[in-house]
Amino acid sequence: MSKEIIYTNQAPEPIGPYSQAVKAGNLLFVSGQVPIDPATGNVVTGSIKEETTQVMKNLAAVLEVSGTNFNAIVKTTIFLSDMALFAEVNEVYGSYFTGNYPARETVAVKGLPKGVNVEISVIAAL
């Protein structure tokens, strides 16, 4: 099975030794995206809805450069700094799908990179 590294300047630069996404066979594995504005490199601060919107925009950019979109996602993982943020994150997250939702888990963690409140990774079928 071949492995192809996916990159776009429309999503944040990786902040460690990983790729934005990797295509392997007919699957796309998108690394966790945090609310960093790729144009400035700055963390988007403000409400959790603003943070989540930036995360979803970053995911959209990686999906687009891979030739796909949110409809192809089969699995997501959402990491939250506090489970009390779940309802607002879920509201924004859900607005990017039109039914046939992917499988998902949501977990609260002790901390996330750069002190953000939300990180989302996805797996898509190509």
Q: How far is CA 116 from CA 33, 91, 105, in A?
A: 11, 18, 18
What does the DSSP assignment read for 14-79?
PSSS--SEEEETTEEEEEEE-SB-TTT-PBP-S-HHHHHHHHHHHHHHHHHHTT--GGGEEEEEEE
The domain spans of the chain are 3-125
Give, for 86, the enclosing helix (H) or strand (E). helix 86-94
User: In this structure, which topology does domain 3-125 adopt according to CATH?
Assistant: 60s Ribosomal Protein L30; Chain: A; (3.30.1330)
Spatial contact of 15 and 113, defined as CB atoms under 8 Å apart: yes
* pLDDT tens string 2-58: 999 999 999 999 989 999 999 999 999 999 999 999 999 999 999 999 999 999 999
Q: How far is CA 28 from CA 41, 59, 80, in A?
A: 24, 12, 23
* pLDDT tens string 53-110: 999 999 999 999 999 999 999 999 999 999 999 999 999 999 999 989 999 999 999 9
